[in-house]
Structure 1
Amino acid sequence: MAEQVEFKSNGNTLKGILVRPEGVTGDVPLVIMAGGWCYTKEVVMPHYAKSFHAIGCATLYFDYRNFGESEGDRRQHLNPWEQIEDYRNAISFAQTLKGIDHKRTGIWGISYAGGHVIITAALDSRPAFVISTVPVVDGFQTMRRTHGERRFAELQKLIADDRQARFEGKPGGNMPMSPKEDPTKELSSWPFPHVYAGFMGIKAKEAPLHEHWNTIESTEWLLSYVVKPYAQRIVETPVMVALARADNITSADLEVEMFNAIASPDKKLVSVGGIDHMSLYTNVDHLAKMGKVQAEWLEETLARLDH
């Protein structure tokens, strides 16, 4: 049963959806879910949630501040530390919910949020488990690789010019999340036309509040984003990192390096074949394939947490 909920995060009211599994009695485990770059809560998360409902878990997926139905003064602005703070406040909200097993409440994230959940678990002792899906783990290296050296230099200039404008009291600028067609004609955060096509399809069918642009400052924040130093702090929390074998957006070598840095011996890395980064959004069969792998790991992990 789906229930609309809301909670506060640094003065902003965040909106979410709480879904409890059908036919399950007693306190149930909870998976807290949030999305990646410019997501709203309707983007893919309801599909992944079904795999967790099938093993008797509740799910809570929410809009970060500045996105979707949540409050926020700078629309489409992504500050990763604010989003991590939103995760932590979602955990605090979950602690107030009846019918939830607070000792078996954990966090799930995809893409940018795949990195967020690792950092959250490094900073916050409350998550009982972490599931990180095709995570962005090093913003500088990812941007340099996806844009190429020449376009990356142009991106850096755009960011520097925007910073200077903000220093002079002018409003910060915006840029596309990804290009509609030719990525060489306009700078975007993620220079892949198939990303635009995929998200437009999702927007038309399931997520009408998704907007395919972001502040330039959001991309500047991304360049300072590194997950590995935080991964080293995770000593006891069970962690799954799930990669798409054909992913051409996030880099497997960076993801594996981050995974290897996780100190906890209770960790699992899986590389799921036959899927890529965007097919985890646009292909229901691929969604189900990844969701099944994650749900199986979670079911085993939760059974161990019972003892």
Structure 2
Amino acid sequence: MRKDIEFKTEDGVTLRGWHYLPERRSGSVPTIVMAHGFSAVKEMYLDRFAEAFAAAGLGAIVFDNRNFGASDGDLRQEIDPWQQVRDYRDAITHAQSLPEVDADRIGVWGSSYSGGHVLVLGAIDRRIKCVVSQVPLASGHRNARRLIRADYLAGVQKAFDDDRRARLAGAPPAMIPVVAEDPAAPSALPTPDSWAWFTETGRTRAPSWKNEVTLRSVEMFTEYEPGSYVSFVSPTPLMMIVALGDVLTVADLALEAYERALEPKHLVTLPGGHFDAYVKDFEASAGPATAWFKRHLGLD
């Protein structure tokens, strides 16, 4: 069962999404709070994961990040990772206020950029009793060095600096495409599979998705180091799902972060690339995540 929801953040922004509940339930249920990754909106397969959780007896709160999709936000298409972390925490507070939610059995799920967010959340918010981090960003700075050619780095930094000066003078933030068909063209996510997945999924499932973000969003990506929190998640149980062919949030950095995590933890590896976790490898990603939540939120 799914219904539309909305709630306000601490700073007064309205976020919108879906609340999933199991078809058969008695009283309040353990609930997973979940949002999408870099520029993506909830229709880009988050419904499939929430449906899998609900079929297993779990509730799910799914929301669009501020500035994207159905959620409000004054600076559209801006991605501030730390603001998104704060919004996750407000979503948890909202979830705990609902009579259908067992406030003492909250899990978080994130994928890609939000896969990094849930590493931070698991470390800093002890209301969370279980974490699943799928194809996560572990290091913004090191990941950017993989995605941006070395001879382009000086030009990218100059673009950041020019944008900063222009904003200070009163200009609106510069924009950049999320993806481009030519991987050498300017874009936030310059991989061929990013172009294929975002354009196809946006066309078939998510017409609200827009192929642009502020350039400042990319600069903040390069500053964000969620993997530095991974050793602090313990004793909260952590599952990481890593796609071994991931060239976007590159697999070796995610595996390195997993090695720094303390117990209890569990690693799931997928054979494909970053976006296969949502489609081709969906059962291999959603199945273990569901089992992990059931085990650690008291449904087994």
Superposition TM-score, scaled by structure 1 size: 0.93
Q: Summarize deviations over 1:16-65 as a string: whole Å, max 9, x none.
A: 10010112222211111101011111111111112212211011110111
Which one of the candidate residues 288, 295, 298 is aligned to 1:300?
295
Matches within 5 A, 1:6-21: 6-9=6-9, 10-21=11-22
* SS across alignment from 2:281: helix
Distance 2:96 2:291 in 1: 25
Cα deviation code 1:243-265 (max 9, x no counterpart): 012112112221122222224x1
Alpha-carbon offset, residue 122 of structure 1: 1.5
> 2:173 aligns to what?
172
User: Which residue number in structure 2 is paired with residue 138 of structure 1?
Assistant: 139
Structure 1: how far apart are the matches of 2:145 and 2:151?
A: 9
Alignment-derived partner of residue 291 in structure 1: 286
Distance in structure 2 (CA, Å) of the matches to 1:197 and 1:51: 25
In structure 2, the partner of 1:231 is: 230
| 4+ residue segments displaced more than 6 Å | none
Written as runs of structure 1 = structure 2, the 5 A alignment for 1:51-200 is 51-179=52-180, 181-184=181-184, 186-200=185-199
Q: Is the 8 A contact 2:270 2:277 kept in 1?
A: no
AA of the residue aligned to 2:292: W
Provide the identity percentage. Answer: 36
Q: C-alpha distance in 1, partners of 2:91/2:228?
A: 23
Q: Which residue of 1 aligns with 2:253?
A: 254
Q: Which amino acid aligns with 1:254?
A: L
- C-alpha displacement of 1:124: 1.1
Q: How many correspondences in the alignment?
A: 299
Worse-matched range after superposition: 30-39 or 249-258: 249-258
Contact 2:129 2:296 in 1 (8 A): no
Cα offsets for 1:188-207 (capped at 9, x unmatched): 11112331221122122221
- Between the aligned partners of 1:199 and 1:206, the Cα distance in structure 2 is 10
Q: Residues 179-222 of structure 1, C-alpha deviation per residue, up to 9 Å, x if partnerless?
A: 0x2122x3111112331221122122221111111000000101
Three-state SS of the structure 2 residue aligned to 1:232 is: helix
For residues 157 and 49 of structure 2, what CA distance do their matches in structure 1 show?
Answer: 35
Change (3 A) 1:272 1:197: closer
Whether the 8 Å contact between 2:3 and 2:20 is mirrored in structure 1 is yes
Deviations 1:85-116 (A, max 9, x none): 11000000011111211111111000000000
TM-score normalised by the chain length of structure 2: 0.95
Task: Kindly state the Cα deviation for residue 303 of structure 1 after the two structures are TM-superposed.
Answer: 3.3
| Per-residue CA distance 1:235-280 (angstroms, 9 max, x = gap) | 31111111012112112221122222224x111112122x210222
Q: CA deviation at 1:175?
A: 0.1
Counterpart contact for 1:143–1:152, Cα < 8 Å: no
Q: Distance in 2 between matches of 1:55 and 1:152?
A: 46
Measure the CA separation in 2 of the matches of 1:63 and 1:303.
28
CA contact (8 A) 1:279 1:287 kept: yes
Deviations 1:124-149 (A, max 9, x none): 11111111000011111111101221
| Distance in 2 separating the partners of 1:18 and 1:243 | 27
Secondary structure in structure 1 of the residue aligned to 2:233: coil
| Contact 1:24–1:56, Cα closer than 8 Å, also in 2 | yes
Distance in 1 of aligned mates of 2:292 and 2:120: 21
User: Which residue type is aligned with residue 287 of structure 1?
Assistant: F
User: Cα distance, 1:119 vs. partner?
Assistant: 0.6
Q: Give the Cα separation in 2 of the matches to 1:20 and 1:152.
A: 47
Query: Which deviates further from its counterpart, 161-170 or 133-142?
Result: 161-170
Give 3-state SS (helix, strand or coil) of 2:274's partner: coil
Moved more, 33-42 or 50-59: 50-59
- After the TM superposition, which residues 12-31 of structure 1 pair with which residues of structure 2 at under 5 Å, given as runs? 12-31=13-32
Alpha-carbon separation, structure 2, partners of 1:127 and 1:66:
25
Q: Which amino acid aligns with 2:218?
A: T
Moved more, 115-124 or 155-164: 155-164
